[in-house]
Structure 1
Amino acid sequence: MSGATVLTDGDIEDEPAGVFPMHRLDVPMPNSLPFAIGTFDSIGPMSRADFPHRHTFYEIVYVTGGTGTHVRDLHRAELRPPHLEFILPGQLHHWEDCRGVEGYVVLFTEDFLLDHPGDREILRRLGAAPWRRLDERANGWAGPLVADLDREYRMGAGGFDSVLRALLHILIVRAGRRLAEGPAVPERAPSVVEEFVGLVAGSDPAGLSVRACAERIGVSVGHLSEIVKEATGRTPGELVRQARTHEAKRLLARTELTVRQVALRVGFDDPAYFCRFFRRETGTSPGAFRKGGGDFHHDHRIPSIAGSGAGSIGS
Structure 2
Amino acid sequence: MKSDFSEFPLQRSAPFKEWSPSIHYAQIQRMPAGVLPQRRIYDFELLYVSQGQAATTMLGQRYELSAGELIFLPSGVLHQNEAASTPDTRFLGIHFDFFDEQDIQTEADMIVDEEHVQERRFAFEAVADAFEPLSGNPVYTPPLACVQLMEQLVHEFTMRPPGYELACKSLMLQILLHLLRLQKSRSQWLASQHDGRLLELVEEIERRPAEGWTNALIAERLGLSIDHAAKLFKQLVGLPPGEYVHSIRHREARRLLRETDLTIERIGEQVGYAGIHYFSRLFRKHEGISATEYRKLSRVL
Same fold (TM over 0.5): no
Task: Answer 1 or 2: which has greater strand percent.
Answer: 2
**Greater length-normalized contact order (CA 8 Å, ≥ 6 residues apart):** 1
Calculate the TM-score normalised by the size of structure 2: 0.42
Calculate the TM-score normalised by the size of structure 1: 0.40
